[in-house]
Amino acid sequence: MPVTQIHPTAVVDPRAELGRDVVIGPLCVVEAGAVIGDGCRLEARAVVKGRTILGCGNEIGEGAVIGGKAQHLHEHQPGGMLIIGHHNRIRENVTIHRGWANDAVTVVGDHNLLMIGSHIGHDCRVGSHCVLVNHVLLGGHVQVEDRAYLGGAAAVHQFCRIGRLAMVGGLARITQDVPPYVMVEGGLTQVVGLNKVGLRRHGYTPEQIVQLKRAYRIIYREGRRWSEVLDILKKEFPTGPAAAFHEFLQSGKRGFVQERRISRRAMLRIVSPADDEASDSDASAHRDAA
């Protein structure tokens, strides 16, 4: 039977619960009331606070602090809980806070990758198979749905939602909800289309992608009233991936990130090689005539 290994310099409260085959590295701290599932690995200086539950097979990187108190002007004692699922990779110096109120919970699902220095605030709910790149910041009460991808140093305002399979560019400042399946350009924080690469990688068929394109045009391109958009989405896409649009959009309270618009005056004229040569000949003849 696999044996739990605890480094001599680690401090593990006897009131913590450890599963089988847990490895706790140098200078780690595991507080009373923490629950660590089978096969978890804590690298050097990792801290697991009380009222934190870790599922199986999680990897906690150096200096990470898991289950800290909510950052809030008004503290609750002892505060809420943090529940983390299975097989997450939580890299160096990541911080995840437990729920703010005593009955509140921060939840992180399964198979997520939280890169260096990323932060998940109190009362957040992060789904499964998500990627938070270095220094992503989630404010309190943020919701991130399954397979979302947030680029480096993206910051998400409290109470915002990120839809499933959405891709948010680095340095984006998210202050409104990001619908499912879309890409958000980081600099101006505007939607720039569907996350087609992500859709294909995760097995969406060409027919499903066509359906999502049709729904996307209704939302962003046809200039309809919002109530009309919701009605059309509900009627035309009752099933399939596009049904997620109506489910997500009808419950929004903060508004939604808008699409980037290109001015109609912005035109790019494509010149063929033959036209280019003719233009050079005309210019040469003009010079000779002068």
What CATH number has the domain bearing residue 101? 2.160.10.10
70 in Cβ contact with 88 (< 8 Å): no
Q: What is d(CA 266, CA 188) in angstroms, rounded to the nearest whole number?
A: 18
Supply angle C-alpha 170, 115, 50, rounded to 5.
130
Check residue 245 and give its pLDDT: 98
What ranges make up the beta strands (E) of 61-179?
65-68, 81-84, 89-90, 95-97, 105-108, 113-114, 119-120, 125-126, 131-132, 137-138, 143-144, 149-150, 155-156, 161-162, 167-168, 173-174
CB 139 within 8 A of CB 122: no
**Mean per-residue pLDDT of the chain:** 92
Instruction: Tell me if residue 87 is catalytic.
Output: no
Flag the least confident range among 75-89, 146-160, 275-289: 275-289
Is 99 inside any structural domain?
A: yes
Task: Find out whether 195 and 182 touch, Cβ atoms under 8 Å.
Answer: yes
Domain presence at residue 247: no
State the Cα–Cα distance between residues 243 and 258, nearest whole angstrom: 20
Active site residue 231: no
The DSSP secondary-structure symbol of 138 reads: E
The predicted pLDDT at position 270 comes to 44
Rounded to two decimals, the pTM is 0.89
pLDDT digits (tens, 9 = 90+) for 9-59: 999 999 999 999 999 999 999 999 999 999 999 999 999 999 999 999 999
Tally Cβ neighbours within 10 Å of residue 280: 10
By residue count, the chain amounts to 290
- Could you confirm whether 246 is annotated as catalytic? no
134 assigned to some structural domain? yes
Q: Is 76 inside any structural domain? A: yes
| Domain contains 225 | no
In a domain, 24, yes or no: yes
Q: Is-contact 86 58, C-beta < 8 A?
A: yes
Residue 18, domain member (yes or no):
yes
Specify the number of domains making up the chain: 1
pLDDT, tens only, 58-86 = 999 999 999 999 999 999 999 999 999 99
Residue 49: domain span: 5-141
pLDDT of residue 290 exceeding 50, the answer is no
Q: Are 40 and 26 in contact (CB under 8 A)?
A: no
Separation between Cα atoms, residue 120 and residue 163, nearest integer Å: 17
Q: Answer whether residue 89 is part of any domain.
A: yes
Catalytic residue among 55, 140, 151, 198: 140
